[in-house]
């Protein structure tokens, strides 16, 4: 049986050209797939200093080696590119069915470059690929866009697309599929810059596995393990709609632009309260958890708002940021972001930033188009989302992200911009969860919780060891463990949640062997090494762009202002030892004092070619 | 089908009696997770005796009463969001009924892995 490495579809929008190729076996062995393929091709093909919104930037859509099969929780999709929000490496992950459909059409990667001179969409089938006119789609929201393309190409079509926010180059525009988004880093902005409205795939279920019989046996084993997991049962029941119960109780739910770690009356936004609004559930391809919980507002000023969400991050983005406990407004805000194509985390965070500037008098009604941004009032927040997506008035400034918006506003606004490398912080307070905070600091994409999630700090996870969540450089090893483990799992774009259901990493490796036919991938230690290789190559990508130690920092607030946690533990916590942490982290990573991977480390990881690119940085 | 089920129950009963007889005094360490440290005055581990996970947790709560509401629901079951591990292996689905032996360690964590 032949080795199965996956196929690449290349689309050049400037030339209107399409080509296909196979991934070489050595790359499959070294990088496995998914995020590994993404950074390998982006690093090799994208020179430094390319304008993220120029024709030369590449937008890479990926699905995993196990996608589209009957295996559980492995059919997500990923986008890799250079971020217009951070100027650094970008990776963002989405769910629903698109990953499976891309695989059915025969591809694991679509590498898009160039720029069309008019709005277009890409239509992929099992027989080929066409670039089609999208003039009639330009301006449409994401739901309408997907419905239109399904009408056009049949129900056996799945779509990723941008909304009005991506068309207007809002710097944190998302790519949306069904109601799931690859939200972070402005991947939708890059898509908009190429005049690319959508990628649609029409395909029948066809799969090529190296050893189907062995694979089917492993899937049976996987299903058995998952169904006996309490984590799975809980996730099926609640999705992430009760995570705020936990984070508030331990004082790490960011409130009022990261001033407090607990929201007053947080029981009003508990999972139980969200349950009262629930009208249904939805999930990704071949995943029985169906963790997306749909909510409908039945009465009041937001009556009729319907969202296939919000999940934890979006619940926080539209409550904690502005100190509101309105579930109704949160559902309306979440729906708007999905329709308009915005990252909920950056949108909510930028709005929380604007509310604080208003409180401090740095912004006034004259600056906010007459909106009064008073904490606790969610109505202006909903208006701001529309303004950001349409780049209207104050929305045009906030659409640039908090870092650039602060520079534009001036008057000391920089102090209140809460980001790492330009990417807004998500819903875990770094001062009360320092392993998580240092993951933000050292992440190549900026402040992403998913880049190396610290289950040890947040949920008391016991592997590889429990953490003291207020400790600093003592937890550098845990940050590395979480980051490399995530990169390893994302070679298959494995759902983060499912990684706690007992089948990863051992069974994952054996499934890769059955799918790919590369024996090495069955070794968990080898897969961890691949994770480290991926992480280092992403770091090298950023070093080549001019990023380094100076960019590895939390916002000033976390370094200078004590956290207030109200009734939760952690009152007065502050991040005091960032420099000592970086020294320790770099040392453990095998990097220089400046945070540059050493030639010795790169050679050990099989990345000797990279040495010349970053030596002397 | 009833006969094997009955036999199995009788066997389990004898088995548990036997376990109780021979393990009347067993030392088990409970590793208290960081999210509960504020309720134990910073105590991170607790040595106790018991033959099931439930007995060990009862002893923990006797020593640190504020933990009761965090660990058990109103019906006395382990909270939906919590998982207990015996030597790093999940005790689910037996949970509180899961037997423990001398030298075992228990870990408590949330079932969640992200958000």
Contact B115 A311 (CB under 8 A): yes
Q: Which parts of chain A register pLDDT below 50?
A: none
**In terms of residues, how long is chain B?**
115
* pLDDT tens, position by position, A55-99: 999 999 999 999 999 999 999 999 999 999 999 999 999 999 999
Q: Are A177 and A96 in contact (CB under 8 A)?
A: yes
Residue B26: the pLDDT is 73
**Residue B15 belongs to some domain of the structure:** no
Residue numbers of B between 1 and 60 with CB closer than 8 Å to A: 31, 33-38
Residue B19: the pLDDT is 45
**Residue B69 belongs to some domain of the structure:** yes
Q: What is the b/e burial string over A148-162, where b = at least 16 CB atoms within 10 angstroms of the residue's CB?
A: bbbeebeeebbbbbb
Q: Work out the average pLDDT over B56-69.
A: 97
Residue A607: the pLDDT is 98
Q: Which residues are CB-neighbours of B63 under 8 A, at least 6 positions away?
A: B46, B48
CB contacts, 8 Å: B113 with chain A: 231, 453, 455, 459, 461, 496-497, 499-500
* pLDDT tens, position by position, A493-502: 999 999 999 9
Handedness of CA A216, A217, A223, A229 (dihedral sign): negative
**Residue B42 belongs to some domain of the structure:** yes
For testing contact with chain B, the best of A76, A229, A231, A248 (most B CBs within 10 A): A231
- H-assigned helices in A81-184: 98-104, 142-153, 164-167
CB contacts, 8 Å: B115 with chain A: 240, 243, 247, 311-313, 427, 449, 458
Residue B20: the pLDDT is 45
Contact of A270 with chain B, judged by CB distance below 8 Å, is answered with: no
Q: Are A444 and A542 in contact (CB under 8 A)?
A: yes
Contact A460 B33 (CB under 8 A): yes
Residue B25: the pLDDT is 53
**Residue B96 belongs to some domain of the structure:** yes
**Which residues of A404-444 form beta strands (DSSP E)?**
419-420, 423-424
**Residue B34 belongs to some domain of the structure:** yes
**Residue B10 belongs to some domain of the structure:** no
Residue among A57, A460, A552 at smallest CA distance from B84: A460
Contact of B71 with chain A, judged by CB distance below 8 Å, is answered with: no
Residue B1: the pLDDT is 36
Residue A469: the pLDDT is 97
Regarding an ipTM greater than 0.85, the answer is yes
Q: Are A190 and A84 in contact (CB under 8 A)?
A: yes
Contact B112 A468 (CB under 8 A): no
Contact of A229 with chain B, judged by CB distance below 8 Å, is answered with: yes
Asked if pLDDT for residue B5 goes beyond 60, the answer is no
CATH number of the structural domain spanning residue B58: 3.10.20.30
**Residue B91 belongs to some domain of the structure:** yes
How many Cβ atoms are within 10 Å of A225's Cβ, its own excluded?
A: 16
Contact of B115 with chain A, judged by CB distance below 8 Å, is answered with: yes
Bridge partner list, A158: A201
CB contacts, 8 Å: B37 with chain A: 569
Domain that holds residue B92: 25-110
Contact B113 A240 (CB under 8 A): no
Q: How confident is the model at residue B9 (pLDDT cuts 50, 70, 90)?
A: low
Q: How confident is the model at residue B2 (pLDDT cuts 50, 70, 90)?
A: very low
Contact B90 A229 (CB under 8 A): yes
Q: How confident is the model at residue B21 (pLDDT cuts 50, 70, 90)?
A: very low
How many structural domains comprise chain B? 1
A371 three-state secondary structure:
coil
**Residue B106 belongs to some domain of the structure:** yes
Contact A245 B110 (CB under 8 A): no
């Amino acid at each position: 049986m032949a080795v199965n490495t996956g196929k690449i579809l290349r689309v050049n929008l400037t030339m209107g050209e399409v080509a296909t190729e196979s991934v070489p076996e050595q790359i499959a062995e070294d990088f496995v797939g998914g995020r590994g393929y993404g950074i390998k091709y982006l690093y090799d093909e994208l020179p430094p200093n390319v304008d993220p919104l120029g024709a030369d930037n590449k937008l890479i859509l990926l699905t995993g080696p196990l996608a589209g099969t009957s295996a559980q929780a492995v059919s997500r999709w990923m986008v890799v590119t250079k971020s217009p929000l951070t100027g650094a490496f970008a990776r963002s992950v989405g769910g629903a069915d698109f990953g499976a459909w891309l695989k059915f059409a025969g591809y694991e990667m679509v590498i898009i470059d160039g720029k069309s001179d008019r709005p277009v969409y890409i239509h992929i089938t099992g027989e080929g690929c066409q670039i089609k006119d999208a003039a009639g789609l330009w301006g449409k929201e994401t739901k309408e866009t997907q419905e239109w393309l399904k009408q056009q190409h049949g129900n056996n079509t799945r779509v990723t697309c941008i909304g009005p926010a991506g068309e207007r180059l809002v710097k944190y525009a998302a790519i949306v599929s069904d109601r799931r988004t690859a939200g972070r880093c402005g991947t939708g902005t890059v898509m908009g810059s190429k005049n690319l409205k959508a990628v649609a795939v029409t395909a029948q279920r066809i799969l090529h596995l190296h050893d189907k019989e062995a694979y089917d046996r492993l899937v049976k084993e996987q299903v058995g393990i998952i169904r006996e997991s309490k984590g799975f049962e809980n996730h099926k029941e609640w999705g992430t709609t009760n995570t705020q119960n936990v984070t508030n109780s331990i004082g790490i739910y960011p409130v009022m632009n990261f001033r407090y770690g607990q929201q007053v009356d947080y029981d009003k936004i508990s999972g139980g309260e969200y349950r009262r609004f629930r009208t249904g559930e939805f999930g990704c391809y071949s995943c029985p958890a169906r963790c997306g919980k749909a909510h409908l507002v039945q009465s009041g000023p937001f009556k009729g708002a319907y969202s296939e969400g919000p999940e934890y991050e979006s619940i926080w983005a539209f409550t904690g940021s502005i100190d509101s406990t309105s579930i109704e407004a949160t559902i309306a805000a979440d729906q708007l972001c999905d329709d308009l194509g915005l990252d909920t985390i950056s949108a909510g965070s930028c709005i929380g930033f604007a509310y604080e500037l208003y409180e401090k008098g740095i912004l006034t009604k004259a600056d906010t188009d007459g909106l009064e941004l008073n904490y606790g009032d969610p109505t202006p927040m909903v208006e701001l989302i529309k303004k950001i997506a349409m780049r209207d008035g104050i929305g045009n400034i906030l659409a640039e992200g908090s870092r650039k918006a602060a520079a534009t506003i001036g008057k000391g606004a920089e102090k209140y911009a809460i980001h790492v490398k330009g990417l807004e912080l998500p819903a875990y307070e770094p001062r009360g969860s320092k392993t998580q905070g240092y993951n933000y600091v050292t992440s190549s994409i900026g402040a992403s919780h998913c880049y190396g999630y610290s289950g040890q700090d947040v949920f008391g996870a016991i592997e590889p060891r429990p953490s003291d969540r207020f400790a600093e450089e003592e937890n550098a090893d845990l940050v590395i463990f979480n980051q490399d483990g995530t990169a390893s799992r994302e070679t298959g774009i494995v759902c983060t949640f499912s990684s706690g259901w007992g089948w990863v990493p051992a069974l994952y490796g054996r499934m890769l062997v059955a799918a790919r036919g590369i024996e090495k991938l069955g070794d968990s230690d080898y897969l961890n090494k691949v994770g480290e290789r991926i992480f280092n190559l992403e770091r090298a990508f950023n070093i080549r762009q001019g990023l380094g130690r100076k960019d590895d920092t939390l916002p000033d607030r976390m370094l200078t202002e004590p956290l207030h946690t109200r009734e939760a533990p952690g009152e007065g916590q502050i991040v005091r030892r960032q420099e000592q942490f970086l020294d320790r982290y770099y040392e453990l990573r095998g990097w220089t004092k400046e945070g540059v991977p050493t030639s010795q480390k790169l050679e050990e990881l099989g990345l000797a070619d990279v040495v010349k690119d970053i030596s002397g940085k | 089908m009833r006969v094997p089920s009955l036999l199995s129950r009788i066997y389990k009963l004898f088995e548990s009696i036997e376990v109780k007889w021979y393990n009347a005094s067993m030392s088990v360490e409970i590793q208290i997770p960081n999210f509960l440290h504020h309720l134990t005055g910073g105590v991170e581990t607790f040595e106790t005796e018991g033959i099931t996970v439930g007995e060990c947790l009862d002893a923990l709560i006797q020593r640190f009463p504020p933990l009761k509401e965090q660990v058990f629901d109103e019906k006395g079951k382990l909270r939906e969001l919590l998982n207990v591990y015996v030597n790093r292996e999940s005790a689910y689905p037996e949970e509180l009924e899961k037997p423990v032996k001398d030298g075992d360690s228990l870990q408590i964590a949330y079932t969640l892995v992200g958000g």
